[in-house]
Amino acid sequence: GAGVSQSPSNKVTEKGKDVELRCDPISGHTALYWYRQSLGQGLEFLIYFQGNSAPDKSGLPSDRFSAERTGGSVSTLTIQRTQQEDSAVYLCASSLQINYGYTFGSGTRLTVV
Amino acid sequence: AQSVAQPEDQVNVAEGNPLTVKCTYSVSGNPYLFWYVQYPNRGLQFLLKYITGDNLVKGSYGFEAEFNKSQTSFHLKKPSALVSDSALYFCAALSGGSYIPTFGRGTSLIVHP
């Protein structure tokens, strides 16, 4: 596609429910990143996928968070048993090569009530 | 470890005046440096990058940034600010051996008419 597509754009969920966030990167981009943006906290790295290699999960804040990338393309970030502190904007980015820069999606705004 | 500091949460400037948004970094080896801009309810948009070569890099919308190795800085500049430049600006750094960029906390630029 022309850009990185994320869905849904907004998600309101009840505390304790599971949510799935989707990212569709630019076709051909082998690198895919998930970041979390909280008010006043900047961007927090969550997970990195590169091709068919094992993902770098070092940024995931707890075992309630997981992500997968199917066929080297679409990625899904899953948050189980959501908590209020999970409320944030979740951003996905893809890249063809690290020194080319990154293309970000518009994000999913998650609100846990 | 990589780190990026944006010492100002907010920068205010009058339209037509020059603007500077500050960024300092700490990475091992030679850095890759990036600036991104985020408009309300949008993802991050790439402005410019420094990989190697000339210390002064020019990017989108008339922005430029100067890489200063001795001061480990990569300040974003524009000679004449526009009201439409008002947005959130993020600096990012990546060391040569890493694949995961570290972002600063962001600086809110407000350009007054």
| DSSP line for chain B | --EEE---SEEEEETTS-EEE--EEE-SSSEEEEEEEE-TTS-EEEEEEE-SS-SEEE-GGG-EEEEETTTTEEEEEESS--GGG-EEEEEEEEETT-SS-EE---EEEEEE-
Instruction: Report chain B residues whose CB lies below 8 A from the CB of A33.
Output: 100
Q: How far is B32 from chain A (nearest CA, A)?
A: 7
pLDDT of residue A93 exceeding 90, the answer is: yes
| Other C-beta atoms lying within 10 Å of the C-beta of residue B17 | 12
Q: What is the mean pLDDT of residues B7-35?
A: 95
- Above pLDDT 90, what percent of chain A? 80
Q: Between residues B109 and A97, which one has the greater pLDDT? A: B109
A45 touches chain B (CB under 8 A): yes
Q: How confident is the model at residue A1 (pLDDT cuts 50, 70, 90)?
A: low
CA distance A20 to A55: 18
What's residue B22's pLDDT?
98
What's residue B30's pLDDT?
87
- The verdict on a CB contact (< 8 Å) between A42 and B106 is yes
Q: How far is B21 from chain A (nearest CA, A)?
A: 15
Give residue-wise pLDDT tens across range B53-66: 899 999 999 999 99
Q: How confident is the model at residue B29 (pLDDT cuts 50, 70, 90)?
A: confident
Residues A95 and B46 sit within 8 Å (Cβ to Cβ): no
Cα atoms found within 13 Å of the Cα of residue A40, Cβ hemisphere only: 0
Q: How confident is the model at residue B95 (pLDDT cuts 50, 70, 90)?
A: confident
If we measure between CA atoms, which residue out of B27, B18, B17 comes closest to residue B95? B27
Displacement of CA B28 from its chain's centroid (Å): 19
Q: How far is B17 from chain A (nearest CA, A)?
A: 27
Instruction: Report chain B residues whose CB lies below 8 A from the CB of A41.
Output: 105
Q: Between residues B43 and A64, which one has the greater pLDDT? A: A64
What's residue A15's pLDDT?
97
